Amino acid sequence: MDLMLILPEFILAGLGLILIGVDLAARQSKRPVVIVGVLGTIAALAAVVANYGQEPTDLWGMQLRHDPFASFFKIVFLIILGLVFLSSGEYLRKHRVRTGEFYVLITLATLGAILMAGSLDFITIFLGLELLALPSYVLAGMRKNDIRSHEASIKFLLIGAVSSAIMLFGISLLYGAAGTTNLQAIAESIPSLAGGQLALLSAAGLFLLVGLGVKVAAFPLHMWAPDVYDGSPTPVSAFLITASEAAGFAVLLRILFVALPQLAEDWQIVLALVALATMTFGNIGALAQHRVKRMLAYSAVAQAGYVLVGLAIATPAGASAMLFYLFVYAIMTIGAFGVVIFLSNHVPADEIKDFIGLAQRSPGVALAMTILMLSLAGIPPTAGFFGKFLLFRAAVDAGLVWMGAAVVLNSVLSVAYYFRIIRNMYLREREPGTRLAAGIPITVVLVLAVISSVLFGVFPEPLVGIVSAISFTP
């Protein structure tokens, strides 16, 4: 067995343990925690990239799978972790969140996400899911003097526990029918199943879709999302919207492409309607919001709807478009939340009207936010536009023209609320306040997010080449 192939997991697990010690040692300033966190993330990222080209392999008694699909998601998760590390330092200090514990939990949560994407066995997938979910519940409640944070935590815990139980029930039904928890072995056993076993199999599919539907906040299982994303500390919201949802989609893709390929056909119309309802509901919900994080939360529901289009198409082209979209969406979202974090470090920044006059007070940050909002809305030539274009093309190629049309109409709808922030920053004046200067870590995050939002829109070919080379069936 090649230990090098699971080096990223080892580094991340070690990083989680080391951070506990570093936090204990760093009594005055918490800067060492941030530095160790960022360096560890970069080391893990380097290990994933170095292993990228290796042959697909099963590791640790079939419990882990190394293939380009898993490596791609690992890269996404580690980039998210690094950006969250960089953008959160000052926020945690200002809002009295415990820095060390925050970094430990978010590191181990990322390890959980990586295990979800990197396994073809339901036992490891489920433990990864719990390793991601348990720290998320705590992270959501880490602003102890904010009642919204308490609400987010308890709501997330209750909904998360129920959805985990539903998913576990689905897994147990699948195990009962197929006699194994390995996704490939399940697929191999399906042709020999008969009668009652097939009924159990489709029931298992239903439970798995519902359980994971809650995790990715698909309509009508999205009710918890706006409250949790609004109430959590802002860096946590950014992490949950990007990493936690992407991990859910990774498992859904594995189930639909590896374990239960016929499920995608049987459920195509249901998934398509769910995608349609999710994006429409998210966009209409976002229009009505006046709190900025709540608006971004509804927009996250809408974006999950776009990604679900790729899942409903269930062709390799659709899945590749999903990967492209998940990647660029994660970076744009972290950037947008980075701006919210920046603003809330200096002034109260809960409401959309708090953005009024930002162009005067901090022109650079306002410009970054504008580009990120344009990208989230899907205006050419941004990465967000190209991602939606790929989904549109995949939907049309698969004969689902109405799904493609729904994506286009919904992005038009979403322009309304993204432009409200841009209008507030540039077109509405307020009494001149002090200029706000961004610190180095936040600047790095914003610059990286803006550059990728533009770069992957103007030159998407390299990334498209990578995602279309990924095979979804082992």
Partner 1 sequence: MNAALLIAGAIAVAGGLGVVIGRTPVHNVVSLIVSFIGLAVLYLTLDAEFIAIVQIIVYAGAIMVLFLFVIALLTTRRDPVQNRKPEPSGQTFFGIVTAAAVLMFLVGGVLGLEAPGGEGIDETFGQVAAFGRELLTTHVFPFEIAAFVLLVAVVGVVILVGRKQA
Which stretches of the chain bind partner 1, using CB under 8 A? 13, 16, 20, 60-61, 63-64, 96-98, 101, 104-105, 108-109, 111, 115, 121, 123-124, 127-128, 130-131, 134-135, 137-138, 141-142, 144-145, 153, 173, 195-197, 199-200, 203, 206
Q: Residue 198 Cβ, how far from partner 1 at the closest point, in Å?
A: 8
3-state secondary structure the chain: CCHHHHHHHHHHHHHHHHHHHHHHHCCCCCHHHHHHHHHHHHHHHHHHHHHCCCCCEEECCCCEEECHHHHHHHHHHHHHHHHHHHHHHHHHHHCCCCHHHHHHHHHHHHHHHHHHHCCCEHHHHHHHHHHHHHHHHHHHCCCCCCHHHHHHHHHHHHHHHHHHHHHHHHHHHHHHHHCCCEHHHHHHHHHHCCCHHHHHHHHHHHHHHHHHHHHCCCCCCCCHHHHHHHHCCHHHHHHHHHHHHHHHHHHHHHHHHHHCHHHHHHCHHHHHHHHHHHHHHHHHHHHCCCEHHHHHHHHHHHHHHHHHHHHHHCCHHHHHHHHHHHHHHHHHHHHHHHHHHHHHHHCCCCEHHHHCCHHHHCHHHHHHHHHHHHHHHCCCCCHHHHHHHHHHHHHHHCCCHHHHHHHHHHHHHHHHHHHHHHHHHHCCCCCCCCCCCCCHHHHHHHHHHHHHHHHHHHCCHHHHHHHHHCCCCC
Q: Residue 364 Cβ, how far from partner 1 at the closest point, in Å?
A: 32
Q: Residue 102 Cβ, how far from partner 1 at the closest point, in Å?
A: 9
Q: Pick the closer one to partner 1 by CB: 84 or 394.
A: 84
Q: Residue 439 Cβ, how far from partner 1 at the closest point, in Å?
A: 21
Q: Residue 216 Cβ, how far from partner 1 at the closest point, in Å?
A: 21
Q: Residue 438 Cβ, how far from partner 1 at the closest point, in Å?
A: 25
Q: Pick the closer one to partner 1 by CB: 38 or 134.
A: 134
Q: Pick the closer one to partner 1 by CB: 128 or 384.
A: 128
Q: Residue 161 Cβ, how far from partner 1 at the closest point, in Å?
A: 13
Q: Pick the closer one to partner 1 by CB: 180 or 468.
A: 180
Q: Pick the closer one to partner 1 by CB: 262 or 443.
A: 262
Q: Pick the closer one to partner 1 by CB: 173 or 238.
A: 173
Q: Pick the closer one to partner 1 by CB: 134 or 311.
A: 134
